[in-house]
Structure 1
Amino acid sequence: MTTSTPQAAPRRVLAALSGLLLGMFVSMIASTVVSTSLPVIIHDLEGDQSAFTWVVTATLLTTAISTPIWGKLADLVNRKVLYQVALVIFVLATAAAGFAQDPGTLIAFRAVQGLGAGGLAALSQVLMADIISPRERGRYMGLFGAVMAVATVGGPLLGGVITDAFGWRWNFFVSLPIAVAALIMVQRTLPHSTRSEKKVRIDYLGIVLLSAAVSLLLIWVTSAGSSFDWWGVETMLMVGGAIVAAILFVVVEFRSAEPLVPLTLFRDRTFTLSVIASIATGIAMFGASVFLGQYMQMARGATPTEAGLMTIPMIAGLLLASVGVGALITRFGHWKPYLIVGSILLTAGAVLLSTIHYDTDFFLVSVYMFLLGAGVGMTMQNLVLAVQNTAKPSEIGVASSGVTFFRSLGGTVGVSVMGAALATRVTDLFTDSRERIGAVLAGMGAEGQAWAEQLQSGTLPQVSTMPESLRVIVEDIYAQGISSAFLIAVPFAVISIIAVLFLPNTSLSRMTTAERRHASEADLATVSVPEGMDAVTATGSVRVVEDASHRTMDDRD
């Protein structure tokens, strides 16, 4: 006799996943809808390149820090309720950001938005592992990739149209009705997860130390060279503080009864190598989403709507790779070859994007974006799949969120470093082009004086509105700055290839997390021989359990 599982009923699986998919769509659309509008937003709020970077980095930072916290909570309390709480936090913060009157307020609300985004990213993977086995998960992870691709394509396009037609503030309000629908869908379709019998213990000290270490590092990377010298007292204090906080965090995690990030996970080669590869994926994914939109507007003079259209090749690569590879993994059970190809494509895309100029043939830029998108699509979800396949059922939450955390952390640090490199490069190029820009402005009369004041203020200029003679110079400057930023991602991408090559090629299990947990409990019960039962009887009991497990798996096949 077999039990009815969601895997035995695909319709039930799709119904349960519908709420997760809609929640993922909300989080993605709310994030991507402002990507093409950021240059306009920062210009209107009178922010500079540092503010542009921090609007993105603030969300990534809190997402990275909160992801392992949500993952730990997922192993201790009701996961469905946690997911709903994360969705509410995310959407309310997104809506509040629409009322920001200065860059500082916008950055603060974006930081709160990241707290919810961390929960949505971590919990969706954990909840999916509860109801779908690793072997079947590739197919459904393709659906997540498709939703992500649609939101990533539709978001910038929708954001550009809204900005051009109604103003950028409406970008932050557009996700509210979708969020309400997602909450209702999650409540109706997602089954309640089994609560842990363990007493809930939160590693508060670990949270503080991790936050301090990451925050100090990012503030130093973003501000050094502009607000203070690279080798000044501020650098010593920030870098030293980050190192001390990181060391204390490791000590606390070893001594904590319920560590935020169990360092014993790093004994597993699959987890360690997946974390290394995820860092490069995060840098490529978040760096591309931030700086490609800026390249289209600042280096090619596109409007927000046009910038959204021009990034479609990258999303097409991500969509085709994630959906197609997910289906192939479910059909044939092989996952490692796709990770190897994906990491190679990711590296190739990063290398080629580091060569772009303001007048590079757009067909070539499209090919470069497609390669990068395909690389991200092949690696992002499948690295989580590889970890979930080997993680203990009791640690599925922290293992899944661990990979997501380091991906977000890599993206956060990567965007900060790329943004700092871009700002420094652009400043140097403006200085070198001072005479050339001055000559152009002098020939414009009063209009030239107005443009001179805007350029000297440090506020991001609206390149699409500039006169042709000035626009060509500014486009060239920003193109060189953005291409140098992409060069930073290349060495990390090469490291990801090496990490993926050494990943153990473990076969995908056909059992869900819940089934694995029940099987392990049954094995423990039969291995512990009760008094009065001989070894032969006990061995027979183990065989009965194993035979029942095999019959269940055969029935599903």
Structure 2
Amino acid sequence: MNRSLYVGVFGLLLGMFLAMLDGLIVGTALPTIAGDLGGLDRLPWVVTAYLLAAAATTPIWGKVGDLFGRKATFISAIALFLAGSGLAGLSQDMGQLIAFRAVQGLGAGGLMVGALAIIGVLVPPRESGRLQSMIGVIMPIAYVGGPLLGGLLTDYLSWRWTFYVNLPVGAVALLIISTRIHLPPAERVKPRIDYGGAALLTTAIVALTLLAGWAGTAYAWTSPQVLALGALSVLALAGFVAVERRAAEPVIPPRLFADRGFTLAQVLSFLVGAAMVSVTNYLPQYMQFVQGASPAAAGMLLLPLMFGMLAAQLVTGRLISRDGRYRRYPILGGALMTAGSLALLLLDASTPAPAASALTLVIGTGIGLVMQSTTLITINGADPRDMGAASGTVTLLRTVGGSLGIAVLGTLYAARMRTDLTARLGAGQAERLERSGELTPGSLPRLPAPVADAVREAVTSGLHALLLGAAALAAISFAIAWLIREIPLRTEPAPQPPPEPAPQPEPKASPQPNHSPAPQPDPEAAPSPRKG
């Protein structure tokens, strides 16, 4: 990669860093937010609203970038994300926070896809692993420092600063991208937005997420609300597939899925997103409720998980750049994710904090291996014209996986925790405890010892239910990874398609200025100026 591009690429990675930082910072602040704003029963929606909005808009951002310009689209996504961040920090109740988190998510949907699409144009897949040297500078702040920084801000300033901190970082990213990223001129395409496909995809994602979060908790599985959501999800997905097959510029081009590696990479991205978001958002609650850690200390206890993710991505990127082989990494990642999820079942109310922290290393390493390899497989399997749509698809599937994962596995967590708490304290006392707002880490020391012990055991039981679900997802990932075939990665950048003497009309004239007009546009005229 040209050295002059490093500063510009750093700005792109800084944009990606915003989305990563926000999700990880908020995880350690969630219990404190619930204690301040109330609405403990709606707490999962602080995460779900963000992921849902990001998932629904990710493919749209990618396609808009392909049609209107990737740089301008990426800058717009950052600006919207920063507006949502400022508003979220000003929230006065849980409803406002959830709504502004959705605004944040609307912008976040374009951050990862925009950066990946631009990098896919500027840098060949075989060389993209070298970008890990730059990622190594900024990703520790997100993966490792994110939970710690969130805890420190919550402890010493306010949870509101977990949102405000995005503003200066975003300002730097905007400045660098505006001045240092210069993309090659793209082929002019008449913009044709697939409004029908975008609407159907958004409807399907929202309905699926609501179904996953409400079924069996807010409403019975056989209730009219859940059955209606299920029917709406199926109809919207079927309609989306039909519309995409006929659309001139589909949000997710069906031709992408003709590549087997691309399709499998999307399935793996969905599964790893579900496992990663669920585990990283609920482990801090165990650390605070059961281990008695402060938000800052809970972030520190997750350092092995974050270091494992970071190291796996760095090493995988380097190794793939060296020999171009990638099939072994999603297989190994799936195995480590499965083993790591099962190892975390050893956690209980008496587990020493250092041991609990160390047990997170294995699953973190597995997540990093799968994430890095699936991104490279996706970029390698897409044509230059579809780079934005392909990057949007892998980010979409990862985000939808996270949204559905935290809804489904979070529901398992809450149901098991409530059942265990009821069994230990009785239905009346358990319900009073939940309604009183005292079911937070800060209020736990003030509760009678038997009640506090019951809460710790119930939280541990809920975490075990979530980890069993994560282990099942990881095992499926391991099985699917074996189906990937090794296809050599490209060693050249993905250029914009040049004008060709093809049947399609081109605004550019023939490169042969001395070629006399011929009655037939014969393609073999290139070697000699005239025919004998």
TM (norm. structure 1) is: 0.87
Are 1:19 and 2:24 an aligned pair? no
Identify the residue that residue 58 of structure 2 maps to in structure 1.
Answer: 67
TM (norm. structure 2) is: 0.90
The one of 243, 250, 253 aligned to 1:262: 253
Aligned-residue offset at 1:143 = 3.4
- Between the aligned partners of 2:474 and 2:136, the Cα distance in structure 1 is 21
* Paired residues, number: 516
**Structure 1 residue matching 2:161: 3-state secondary structure:** helix
Structure-2 change in CA distance of 1:92 and 1:436 (3 Å): closer
Are 1:46 and 2:38 an aligned pair? yes
**Structure 1 residue matching 2:43: 3-state secondary structure:** helix
Identify the residue that residue 465 of structure 1 maps to in structure 2.
Answer: 445
Identify the residue that residue 88 of structure 1 maps to in structure 2.
Answer: 79
Q: Map 1:149-548; keep pairs closer than 5 Å.
A: 149-435=140-426, 453-457=432-436, 460-462=439-441, 465-467=445-447, 468-514=449-495, 517-518=497-498, 521=500
Aligned-residue offset at 1:199 = 1.0
What stretches of structure 1 of length at least 5 have no aligned partner? 1-6, 439-450, 542-557
- Between the aligned partners of 1:327 and 1:13, the Cα distance in structure 2 is 19
Deviation digits for residues 163-189 of structure 1 (CA, Å, limit 9, x no counterpart): 112221222212212211111111111
Moved more, 456-465 or 244-253: 456-465
Identify the residue that residue 514 of structure 2 maps to in structure 1.
Answer: none
Aligned-residue offset at 1:460 = 3.9
Name the aligned partner's letter for residue 341 of structure 2: A
- Between the aligned partners of 1:522 and 1:303, the Cα distance in structure 2 is 66
Deviation digits for residues 219-253 of structure 1 (CA, Å, limit 9, x no counterpart): 12212233222211212111111111111111111
- Between the aligned partners of 1:201 and 1:145, the Cα distance in structure 2 is 39
Name the aligned partner's letter for residue 152 of structure 1: Y
Q: Over aligned residues, Cα RMSD in angstroms?
A: 2.6
Name the aligned partner's letter for residue 299 of structure 2: G
Name the aligned partner's letter for residue 483 of structure 2: F
Q: Percent identity?
A: 36
- Between the aligned partners of 1:155 and 1:328, the Cα distance in structure 2 is 26
Structure-2 change in CA distance of 1:40 and 1:477 (3 Å): same
Are 1:32 and 2:24 an aligned pair? yes
Structure-2 change in CA distance of 1:217 and 1:390 (3 Å): closer
- Between the aligned partners of 2:453 and 2:51, the Cα distance in structure 1 is 33
Deviation digits for residues 518-548 of structure 1 (CA, Å, limit 9, x no counterpart): 4x9589999xxx867988766899xxxxxxx
Aligned-residue offset at 1:318 = 1.0
Structure-2 change in CA distance of 1:533 and 1:170 (3 Å): closer
Identify the residue that residue 137 of structure 1 maps to in structure 2.
Answer: 128
The 8 Å contact of residues 347 and 372 in structure 1, kept in 2 or not, is answered as yes
- Between the aligned partners of 2:441 and 2:523, the Cα distance in structure 1 is 79
Identify the residue that residue 506 of structure 2 maps to in structure 1.
Answer: none
The 8 Å contact of residues 77 and 196 in structure 1, kept in 2 or not, is answered as no
- Between the aligned partners of 1:239 and 1:145, the Cα distance in structure 2 is 43
The 8 Å contact of residues 63 and 118 in structure 1, kept in 2 or not, is answered as yes
Name the aligned partner's letter for residue 462 of structure 1: P
Structure-2 change in CA distance of 1:534 and 1:115 (3 Å): closer
What stretches of structure 2 of length at least 5 have no aligned partner? 504-509, 512-517
- Between the aligned partners of 2:120 and 2:460, the Cα distance in structure 1 is 43
Aligned-residue offset at 1:437 = 10
- Between the aligned partners of 1:15 and 1:148, the Cα distance in structure 2 is 16
Structure-2 change in CA distance of 1:453 and 1:86 (3 Å): same
The 8 Å contact of residues 77 and 195 in structure 1, kept in 2 or not, is answered as no
The 8 Å contact of residues 160 and 305 in structure 1, kept in 2 or not, is answered as yes
Name the aligned partner's letter for residue 499 of structure 1: I
- Between the aligned partners of 1:390 and 1:539, the Cα distance in structure 2 is 33
- Between the aligned partners of 2:95 and 2:409, the Cα distance in structure 1 is 21
Name the aligned partner's letter for residue 17 of structure 2: F
Aligned-residue offset at 1:263 = 2.0
Deviation digits for residues 194-217 of structure 1 (CA, Å, limit 9, x no counterpart): 344111111112122111112122
**Structure 1 residue matching 2:26: 3-state secondary structure:** coil
Aligned-residue offset at 1:69 = 0.5
- Between the aligned partners of 2:70 and 2:471, the Cα distance in structure 1 is 37
Name the aligned partner's letter for residue 235 of structure 1: V
Name the aligned partner's letter for residue 153 of structure 1: V
Deviation digits for residues 281-311 of structure 1 (CA, Å, limit 9, x no counterpart): 1012211221111111122221101101110
Deviation digits for residues 304-348 of structure 1 (CA, Å, limit 9, x no counterpart): 011011100001101111112211211222222222212221222
- Between the aligned partners of 1:214 and 1:465, the Cα distance in structure 2 is 40
